[in-house]
Structure 1
Amino acid sequence: MKRFAAYDPPEYQNWTAAPEQLRAYRERIDASDERAEVIRALSQEQLLDIYAGLLRNRLHDVALKRWVKNGVISKAWLGVGEEAATIGPVHALRRSGPGRDVVAPMIRNSGACHEMGMPVADIFRSYLGTADSPSMGRDLHVGHLDAGVLPPISHVGDVVPVIAGIALTFKQRGEDRVGLTWVGDGSTKTGAFHEGVNFAGVHRLPVIFIIQNNQVALGTRLTQHAAGSFEDWPAMYGLAGGVFDGNHVLDAYAATRIAADRARAGEGPSLLVGETFRMGGHATHDEREARSMFDAELFASWGRRDPVGLYEAWLEEEGVARGTLDDIEARVTAEIDAAAEDALRSRETAMPSPESAIVGVYG
């Protein structure tokens, strides 16, 4: 895919797939017979749809960073380097129709919004605070229940019991549906996280929790708990568990698909751990501070494992023509560019009125 000198992390700008990284990528697919079976069942159409989702997620973030640099918005919360931990799990769910599943993304999981069917322009409008955004200009935490996306709050674990409650309604109604949410490694220290996961385990709810371990909570390194590794946590709640490579979209897909099938079969919730790394700051305003907090080699090592680039290289090894990938990239690029322009027009014509601030407010 095209790299952007002004917007991509420096580790991505002249990126090529190292043979040892590509070999490890392929070995990960075959490391588990159960996951390998799920992955090998994907059609080429599904594989290319996942590729388009990764590109859409990356280019969405490029567009936001361009807006920051051009002064359109003051800052943005980007998921660069973590795209596979979002796109893989979402594609493992039911994403359309009245029986669609429900996801509750963190702000860095914005890829869940467009892959569940929300227009990209609406995601951009949420950043611009326009009246025609899904939240009618109130908040940039974007979602729409018609698309199966629960609009989140600032995600300090509080959505964990909420998605458990949604899964409880699925069970009580006898609906063949699954709820899924991501939670950051830092937010696992909150009471709401533990209460929600425990409730789901006790009631055997059809829900999947993903600890998206990107190695840092705001500006705090991952040294915040003494309860073993995250891999040990599912057993504490009586949940099924598993660890997936958060930079490997197919591993993320397979782990989630297996968990979703378990949930639909009445076998209860799963707690998955996606190991990944944030290739930037908490938001665009503190990228320099993030670089100073970790050794340069940590960024370099994770940078060699670009989730978009490695998947693209794997597809080519699997026989997908370069021209096919270029055509998908051109289509997605045009989609993102058109969505950004559409959202910018809303800023000129559809800003919320002052009176709308009290509409829908309770208390």
Structure 2
Amino acid sequence: MKRFAAYDPPEYHNWTADPAEVQRYRERVSADPEREAVIRALSQDQLLDMYAGLLRNRLHDVALKRWVKNGVISKAWLGVGEEAATIGPVHALRRSGPDHDVVAPMIRNSGACHEMGMPVTDILRSYLGTADSPSLGRDLHVGELAVGVLPPISHVGDVVPVISGIALSFKQRGQDRVGMTWTGDGSTKTAAFHEGVNFAGVHQLPVVFIIQNNQVALGTRLSQHAAGSFADWPMMYGLAGGVFDGNHVLDAYAAARLAADRARAGEGPSLLVAETFRMSGHATHDEREARELFDAGLFASWGRRDPVGLYEAWLMENGIGADVLERIEARVTAEIDQAAEEALRSRESAMPVPESAVTGVYA
């Protein structure tokens, strides 16, 4: 895909596929027979749909960073480098129809919003606080329950018991539906996280929890706040679980698909761990801090594992022509550009009036 010197991490500017990383990517597909069977069952349309999702996620973040650079918004929370940890699992769910599944993304999982069916325009409008945004201008935490997206909660970790409650409703109603949420490595330290996961385990609820381990909580390294390995955590709750490569969209898809299938079969929740890395700061305002926090070699190492670039290399290795990928990129680029233009027009014509601040407020 095209790289943007003004917006992409420097490690992505002149990105080319490293043969050793491509080999590791290839080996990961066949490392687990159960996951490999799930991956091999994907059609070409499904593979390309995931590619479009990765591009949409990356270009959505590019649009936000462009707005920051141009002074349209003051800051943005980006998921650059972590897209596969969102796109793969969401594509493993039922994303349409009356019995669609429900996701509860963090703000960095914006890809879950557009892949569940939210228009990118509405996601961008939320950042601008317009009256025609899903939150009616109140908050940039984006969601739309009609398409199965629960808006994030600023107090990270608190959404875990909420998605467990939603999964409980699925079980009580006899619905063939699954809930899914992500939580950062830092927010696993909250009481709500543990209470929600434990509740789901006790009641054998149809829900998939994903610990998105991007190695840092705000400005605190993983080594400063975590002891042992997250891979051991499912056993603490008596849950099924596993670790997947959070930069490998196919491994992410397969792990989540198996977990969702177990949930639908009445086998209870799963706790998955996505190993990935945040290629930026907590938000755009502290990217310098992130660069000071970690050694440059760590950024360089993870930069070679760009989830979009490696998936492109794998697709072409498996018979998908570069021209096919270029056409998808052109289509998604036009979609994002149009969405940004429409959202900016809303800022000029659809800002909320002061009286709307009390609409829907009950206390």
If the TM-score is normalised by the length of the shorter chain, which range does it land in? over 0.9
Name stretches of at least 5 consecutive residues in structure 1 with no aligned partner. Answer: none
* Structure 1 letter corresponding to 2:137: G
SS in structure 2 at match of 1:181? strand
* Structure 1 letter corresponding to 2:48: L
Looking at structure 1, the residues matched to 263 and 143 of structure 2 have their Cα atoms a distance apart, in angstroms, of 23
What residue is the counterpart of 2:308 in the other structure?
Answer: 308
Listed one character per residue, the Cα deviations across residues 146-166 of structure 1 (whole Å, up to 9, x for unaligned) are: 010001111520000000000
* Structure 2 letter corresponding to 1:31: A
Looking at structure 2, the residues matched to 343 and 227 of structure 1 have their Cα atoms a distance apart, in angstroms, of 44
What residue is the counterpart of 2:116 in the other structure?
Answer: 116
CA contact (8 A) 1:82 1:278 kept: yes
Looking at structure 1, the residues matched to 153 and 231 of structure 2 have their Cα atoms a distance apart, in angstroms, of 26
What residue is the counterpart of 1:27 in the other structure?
Answer: 27
Per the alignment, do residues 75 and 16 of structure 1 end up closer, same or farther by CA in structure 2, a change over 3 Å counting?
same
| 1:228 CA drift (Å) | 2.3
What residue is the counterpart of 1:53 in the other structure?
Answer: 53
CA contact (8 A) 2:126 2:135 kept: yes
Looking at structure 2, the residues matched to 331 and 73 of structure 1 have their Cα atoms a distance apart, in angstroms, of 26
| 1:360 CA drift (Å) | 1.0
Name stretches of at least 5 consecutive residues in structure 2 with no aligned partner. Answer: none
What residue is the counterpart of 1:139 in the other structure?
Answer: 139
TM-score normalised to structure 2 length: 0.99
Looking at structure 2, the residues matched to 99 and 254 of structure 1 have their Cα atoms a distance apart, in angstroms, of 21
CA contact (8 A) 2:186 2:225 kept: no
CA contact (8 A) 2:181 2:208 kept: yes
More deviation, 221-230/256-265: 221-230
* Structure 1 letter corresponding to 2:146: D
Alignment of 1:173-212 (within 5 A): 173-212=173-212
| 1:167 CA drift (Å) | 0.1
What residue is the counterpart of 1:256 in the other structure?
Answer: 256
Looking at structure 2, the residues matched to 307 and 204 of structure 1 have their Cα atoms a distance apart, in angstroms, of 33
What residue is the counterpart of 2:166 in the other structure?
Answer: 166
SS in structure 1 at match of 2:223? coil
| 1:343 CA drift (Å) | 0.3
Per the alignment, do residues 19 and 226 of structure 1 end up closer, same or farther by CA in structure 2, a change over 3 Å counting?
closer
Looking at structure 2, the residues matched to 237 and 64 of structure 1 have their Cα atoms a distance apart, in angstroms, of 38
TM-score normalised to structure 1 length: 0.99
What residue is the counterpart of 2:6 in the other structure?
Answer: 6
Count of aligned residue pairs for this structure pair = 363
Looking at structure 2, the residues matched to 105 and 292 of structure 1 have their Cα atoms a distance apart, in angstroms, of 28
Looking at structure 2, the residues matched to 73 and 320 of structure 1 have their Cα atoms a distance apart, in angstroms, of 38
What residue is the counterpart of 2:336 in the other structure?
Answer: 336
More deviation, 223-232/209-218: 223-232
Looking at structure 1, the residues matched to 356 and 292 of structure 2 have their Cα atoms a distance apart, in angstroms, of 42
Task: Calculate percent identity across the aligned residue pairs.
Answer: 84
Looking at structure 2, the residues matched to 224 and 195 of structure 1 have their Cα atoms a distance apart, in angstroms, of 23
| 1:227 CA drift (Å) | 4.8
| 1:223 CA drift (Å) | 2.4
Per the alignment, do residues 131 and 63 of structure 1 end up closer, same or farther by CA in structure 2, a change over 3 Å counting?
same
What residue is the counterpart of 1:62 in the other structure?
Answer: 62
SS in structure 1 at match of 2:131? coil
Question: Where does structure 1 differ by over 4 angstroms across 4 or more consecutive aligned residues?
Answer: 224-227
* Structure 2 letter corresponding to 1:12: Y
What residue is the counterpart of 2:297 in the other structure?
Answer: 297
SS in structure 1 at match of 2:273? strand
SS in structure 2 at match of 1:62? helix
Listed one character per residue, the Cα deviations across residues 74-115 of structure 1 (whole Å, up to 9, x for unaligned) are: 000000000000000000000001100000000000000000
SS in structure 2 at match of 1:182? strand
CA contact (8 A) 1:28 1:251 kept: yes
What residue is the counterpart of 2:222 in the other structure?
Answer: 222
- The answer as to 2:287 corresponding to 1:283 is no
CA contact (8 A) 1:186 1:224 kept: no
What residue is the counterpart of 1:107 in the other structure?
Answer: 107
Root-mean-square deviation (Å): 0.7
SS in structure 2 at match of 1:23? helix
- The answer as to 2:334 corresponding to 1:319 is no
* Structure 1 letter corresponding to 2:104: A
Looking at structure 1, the residues matched to 361 and 243 of structure 2 have their Cα atoms a distance apart, in angstroms, of 40
What residue is the counterpart of 1:274 in the other structure?
Answer: 274
* Structure 2 letter corresponding to 1:104: A
Listed one character per residue, the Cα deviations across residues 10-59 of structure 1 (whole Å, up to 9, x for unaligned) are: 00000000111000000000000000000000000000000000000000
CA contact (8 A) 1:242 1:273 kept: yes
| 1:362 CA drift (Å) | 2.5
| 1:226 CA drift (Å) | 5.6
What residue is the counterpart of 1:37 in the other structure?
Answer: 37
Alignment of 1:84-99 (within 5 A): 84-99=84-99
